[in-house]
Chain A
């Protein structure tokens, strides 16, 4: 069974540009999460989808970030316009069972904003 896949694995863009990250969760997993790790900091929650609905987006840093999950399958996270402080690793995770605490993570998309 395929795990959580993320694309691209690494993106280097200039300040002001736009980047879109994609996450394909494990098939059948209704719950999809985005997390981010900025260098030297803890992994931080960004948002949570249940199917196509945003369950919790309290961790989204600001309105430059837009997440979608049309059709309840894959998700995209767009950063527009990117700023230097957006650099970090963006992890996507999915789970089919909400309360176990076991999230299955993708390998992450490393974003570098120059």
Chain B
């Protein structure tokens, strides 16, 4: 079983749509959780950290359910510029510095 699992998609949505991505992780001792964004042939960039209480940044909302080992990302009012791959990332247990990556979920927002 993969340490971090994501639906690879692709998700094709119209502008203005709401889209949700899910991610599960296998190690219950994982400590920190993140969503990174990667544009085609570019480097990954941090989108947002994910906290147990849930957190929001503009049109983006991230949720963490430790009991279910489940992380989500909700994008409201999708823009064309949101088209990218969204990577679910957790830190390895006992080591806050090693990032464990999901395969990524591809999103295409269409006009």
Per DSSP, chain A at the interface is mixed
- List chain B residues, Cβ under 8 A from A106: 43
Contact among B2, B34, B44, B96 with A105 in the assembled complex (CB-CB below 8 Å): B44
Q: Are B95 and A42 in contact, CB atoms less than 8 angstroms apart?
A: no
In the complex, which residues 15-49 of chain B have their Cβ closer than 8 Å to any Cβ of chain A? 32, 34, 42-46, 49
Given contacts A101-B49, A108-B43, is CB(A42)–CB(B98) below 8 Å?
A: no
* Identity of the chain B residue whose Cβ is nearest the Cβ of A91 in the assembled complex: B43
- List chain A residues, Cβ under 8 A from B89: 101
- List chain A residues, Cβ under 8 A from B100: 45
- List chain B residues, Cβ under 8 A from A101: 32, 34, 46, 49, 89, 91, 96, 99
- B13: Cβ under 8 A from any A Cβ: no
The interface size of chain A toward B, counting residues with CB under 8 Å, comes to 25
Contact among A55, A103, A107 with B99 in the assembled complex (CB-CB below 8 Å): A103
Q: Are B45 and A41 in contact, CB atoms less than 8 angstroms apart?
A: no
- B87: Cβ under 8 A from any A Cβ: yes
Contact among B42, B43, B46, B101 with A44 in the assembled complex (CB-CB below 8 Å): B101
- A12: Cβ under 8 A from any B Cβ: no
Q: B residues touching A (Cβ–Cβ < 8 Å)?
A: 2, 4, 32, 34, 42-46, 49, 87, 89, 91, 95-104
11 A-B pairs (CB sep. < 8 Å): A43-B44, A43-B99, A48-B97, A91-B43, A100-B49, A101-B34, A101-B49, A101-B89, A102-B34, A105-B43, A108-B43
Q: A residues touching B (Cβ–Cβ < 8 Å)?
A: 4, 31, 33, 35, 41-45, 48, 55-56, 58-59, 91, 98-103, 105-108
